[in-house]
Amino acid sequence: MDLHILDHKLRVTSISKTGLEQYTHPLIKLIFLRNRTRCKFFSLTETPENYTVVLDEEGFKELQPSEHLQVEGSTWLPLNVVSNGNASSSSQAVGVTKIAKSVIAPLAEQHVREKDLSVVVETLVEEFNIFREEGGESVPVHIPHATVHPVLIPENQFCVMSLDPDTLPAIATTLIDVLFYSNSPKEGANADQDMECIKFFSFSLIDGYVSLVMDTEAQRQFPADLLFTSSSGELWRMVRIGGQPLGFDECGIVAQISQPLADSDISAYYISTFSFDHALVPEEDIVSVTEMLQSQRKDISS
Amino acid sequence: MDLHILDHKLRVTSISKTGLEQYTHPLIKLIFLRNRTRCKFFSLTETPENYTVVLDEEGFKELQPSEHLQVEGSTWLPLNVVSNGNASSSSQAVGVTKIAKSVIAPLAEQHVREKDLSVVVETLVEEFNIFREEGGESVPVHIPHATVHPVLIPENQFCVMSLDPDTLPAIATTLIDVLFYSNSPKEGANADQDMECIKFFSFSLIDGYVSLVMDTEAQRQFPADLLFTSSSGELWRMVRIGGQPLGFDECGIVAQISQPLADSDISAYYISTFSFDHALVPEEDIVSVTEMLQSQRKDISS
């Protein structure tokens, strides 16, 4: 199994809730009109705070600067995990493979923090051959010293889904409704830290593959026959990481959550946004994940 | 046959070509998300100059003022022709009935100039019972003295189509593409007076009925099985009225074109926009219409 760091430059941006309207035109183009753009990597995630838009430089050109658009200074690299048949034979590898399958692959699609890359490399270096696409150089490894961040576990159940990109037009009006018009004043009150349910919706269109993450309430608005779940009807719960916006400098946030999950053989689907990180874990594991996170926090504070 | 002047107040607005992007959000809501708006009358027509948007006051609330939005000061009344079975028996009535079918009915959907109403009333008063919805009063009739305006007859062939509103989602991405993204710099050069083809596209959603007028080039982008033409495959040519923007004060512009057409028993579909008027006539009649218009202009200038 090889870990490729693609030579694909991504920008991480945030659009304010009130500014979304004025970005409707470029966003609809990037989501629905593939023949009008050369953007190959696009991801839009709504959280209670803002809309995180991660996209390649072709897509980034479409977003006009404004007071509503925040752009993170760095460019980011997507990872891609490619199986080459040389599976590790050690039983220890299960956890690592689990990370690769359940964390790295989603991260590759969901833009891991570049800094977190070193952590991942540290963890995986014995099991994987690691290449940077441009020259075959290995990445220097820094051992991170991460703060343990508070976590929030909202009540809603989430689905992770995919869609045949050719059927994207068939859900266009529903998707536009959910993405651009769901912030009625009533729902706006959700932007509260201690909410029971969280407003979270993620759409990504990467190299022609569509992924959607939404809660079951949003899911009911879509035609059931067009969206596919990875395994039938699997439901996920969310662990949202960070009491304060996390910023972009800190290392090891992903590993802090993903390492103990991998050790416990629990799948995770990880989505970073501009302000916070989000790990989705299977509904049936949420109790043990909660206990694990609580004991992790107790160990640190004691 | 009764002519009803509906108690429905319409606003006539124009959005500049460069300003369309910032109105994408409200326009998409008005076109596709009927459950999010109480607007019952919406019409959007693209011409080389601008986008004319005619809508009721519920819809008008959605359009934020800006330098890109021009709003005509008056409110306008839509007409509605209702057959009550009392068909006139005179053979003379054919022409008038033709107007009613081919001019008044489209006008009722397509916002006749309120001033032109008097002309229409003048023409029709002997054949129709005319009601103003609020009180049964008849409309005072002024005989108009209209300038004869230059006309332009572009080369493109047009289709007049309808659509089951429930299938609107199925053409959403195509319609969004055509309405909001067709102005590539190349096509922008079209805004020329002596063009051979004209950029013209009209969408209206009135009381749940969808009408579309587009040229055959635009039509090819839509799935053929969802759009219906009035009679199978009927093609229309356009007579565009006005060398200079017509303004909103002049009377009799509609009658100037529609009266001779009616006399010659030629159908017409009439669409007023912010700057110019447009009459669509059947392809096979364009030669005689051209001759008629030329002789009309010769008579006036001699």
Give the model confidence (pLDDT) of A98-138 as tens digits: 334 434 444 444 445 444 554 444 444 434 444 444 445 54
Of A24, A29, A177, the CB nearest to B33: A177
- Mean pLDDT within B270-298: 86
The whole-number pLDDT of residue A110 equals 46
Q: A104-118, A248-262, B3-17, B210-224: which has the highest mean pLDDT?
A: B210-224
Alpha carbon of B43: minimum distance to chain A alpha carbons (Å): 19
Look at residue A234 and give its three-state secondary structure: coil
Q: B98-112, B186-200, B276-290: which has the highest mean pLDDT?
A: B276-290
The whole-number pLDDT of residue A207 equals 83
Q: Which residue has the higher pLDDT, A259 or A302?
A: A259
Identity of the amino acid at B261: L
Token pair listed for A134: 């441009």
pLDDT band at B2 (very low <50, low <70, confident <90, very high): low
When mean pLDDT is compared across A4-18, B11-25, B159-173, the lowest value belongs to: A4-18
Give the model confidence (pLDDT) of B165-181 as tens digits: 899 999 999 999 999 99
Average per-residue pLDDT in chain B?
A: 75
The whole-number pLDDT of residue B201 equals 95
Q: Which residue has the higher pLDDT, B66 or A264?
A: B66
Token pair listed for A295: 């004991």
A137 φ/ψ angles, rounded to the nearest 5 degrees:
-70, 145
Token pair listed for A121: 């490399």
Instruction: Please state, in angstroms and rounded to a whole number, the distance separating the CA atoms of residues A7 and A128.
Output: 19
Of A28, A32, A181, the CB nearest to B24: A28
pLDDT band at A30 (very low <50, low <70, confident <90, very high): very high
The whole-number pLDDT of residue B123 equals 44
Q: What DSSP state is assigned to residue A76?
A: B
- Mean pLDDT within A39-46: 92
Instruction: Please state, in angstroms and rounded to a whole number, the distance separating the CA atoms of residues B175 and B165.
Output: 13
The reply to whether residue A36 touches residue B181, judged by beta carbons under 8 angstroms, is yes
- Mean pLDDT within B269-280: 84
Token pair listed for B72: 């005509």
Identity of the amino acid at B200: F
Give the model confidence (pLDDT) of A165-205 as tens digits: 899 999 999 999 999 998 754 444 444 444 589 999 999 99
The whole-number pLDDT of residue A38 equals 92
Instruction: Please state, in angstroms and rounded to a whole number, the distance separating the CA atoms of residues A270 and B208.
Output: 43
Long-range contacts of A60-67 (CB under 8 A, 24+ apart): A60/A11, A60/A13, A62/A26, A62/A29, A62/A30, A62/A37, A63/A13, A63/A23, A63/A26, A64/A26, A66/A19, A66/A22, A67/A19
The whole-number pLDDT of residue A6 equals 63
The whole-number pLDDT of residue A73 equals 78
Of A24, A173, A181, the CB nearest to B169: A173
Contacts of A66 in chain B (CB under 8 A): none
Nearest Cα to B211, choosing from B269, B285, B143, B147?
B269
Contacts of B22 in chain A (CB under 8 A): 22, 25
B161 pLDDT higher than 80: yes
Q: Beta-strand (E) ranges in B113-164?
A: 129-132, 151-152, 158-163
Of A24, A169, A180, the CB nearest to B173: A169
The reply to whether residue B24 touches residue A29, judged by beta carbons under 8 angstroms, is no
pLDDT band at B150 (very low <50, low <70, confident <90, very high): confident
Q: Of all residues in chain A, what percent carry a pLDDT higher than 90?
A: 34
Look at residue B129 and give its three-state secondary structure: strand
The reply to whether residue B33 touches residue A181, judged by beta carbons under 8 angstroms, is yes
The whole-number pLDDT of residue A242 equals 81
A107 φ/ψ angles, rounded to the nearest 5 degrees:
-60, -40
Nearest chain A residue to B166, by CA: A173
Average per-residue pLDDT in chain A?
A: 75
Q: Which residue has the higher pLDDT, B126 or B152?
A: B152
B91 pLDDT higher than 80: no
Contacts of A36 in chain B (CB under 8 A): 177, 181
Max Cα separation, chain B?
57
The reply to whether residue A33 touches residue B170, judged by beta carbons under 8 angstroms, is no
Determine contact, residues B121/B251, Cβ cutoff 8 Å.
Answer: no
Residue in the structure block whose two tokens are 């607005």: B13
User: What is chain B's length?
Assistant: 302
Nearest Cα to A10, choosing from A100, A105, A109, A99?
A109
pLDDT band at B63 (very low <50, low <70, confident <90, very high): very high
A275 pLDDT higher than 90: no
Contacts of B177 in chain A (CB under 8 A): 32-33, 36
Alpha carbon of A33: minimum distance to chain B alpha carbons (Å): 7
pLDDT band at B272 (very low <50, low <70, confident <90, very high): confident
Whole-angstrom Cα Rg for chain B: 19
The reply to whether residue B173 touches residue A168, judged by beta carbons under 8 angstroms, is yes
The whole-number pLDDT of residue A122 equals 44
3-state secondary structure B161-205: EEECHHHHHHHHHHHHHHHHCCCCHHHHCCCCCCCCCCCCEEEEE
The reply to whether residue B33 touches residue A169, judged by beta carbons under 8 angstroms, is no
The whole-number pLDDT of residue A28 equals 97
**Mutation target vs B (from A28, A68, A180; most B CBs, 10 A cutoff):** A28
- Report the 10 Å Cβ neighbour count for A202: 22
- Mean pLDDT within B266-279: 83
Determine contact, residues A53/A15, Cβ cutoff 8 Å.
Answer: yes
The whole-number pLDDT of residue A293 equals 86
B17 pLDDT higher than 80: yes
**Mutation target vs B (from A180, A181, A183, A184; most B CBs, 10 A cutoff):** A181
CA distances (Å), A138 to each of A109, A114, A124, B106, B272, in order? 21, 14, 13, 70, 67
Contacts of A20 in chain B (CB under 8 A): 25
The reply to whether residue A24 touches residue B29, judged by beta carbons under 8 angstroms, is no
- Mean pLDDT within A245-269: 74
Nearest chain B residue to A177, by CA: B33
A94 pLDDT higher than 50: no
- Mean pLDDT within B101-117: 45
The whole-number pLDDT of residue B51 equals 95
Angle of helix B172-180 versus helix A24-32 axis, rounded to 10: 130
When mean pLDDT is compared across A234-243, B71-80, B216-225, the lowest value belongs to: B71-80
Q: Which residue has the higher pLDDT, A157 or A80?
A: A157
Residue in the structure block whose two tokens are 């200079």: B244
The whole-number pLDDT of residue A246 equals 74
A284 pLDDT higher than 80: yes
Residue in the structure block whose two tokens are 């946004």: A273
Instruction: Please state, in angstroms and rounded to a whole number, the distance separating the CA atoms of residues B56 and A273.
Output: 40
Q: HSE on the CB side for A151, CA within 13 Å?
A: 25
Of A33, A177, A180, the CB nearest to B177: A33
pLDDT band at B3 (very low <50, low <70, confident <90, very high): low
pLDDT band at A4 (very low <50, low <70, confident <90, very high): low
Q: Which residue has the higher pLDDT, B255 or B121?
A: B255
**Mutation target vs B (from A176, A178, A183; most B CBs, 10 A cutoff):** A176
The whole-number pLDDT of residue A8 equals 65
When mean pLDDT is compared across A179-183, A254-258, B213-217, B277-281, the lowest value belongs to: A254-258
Determine contact, residues B204/B39, Cβ cutoff 8 Å.
Answer: no
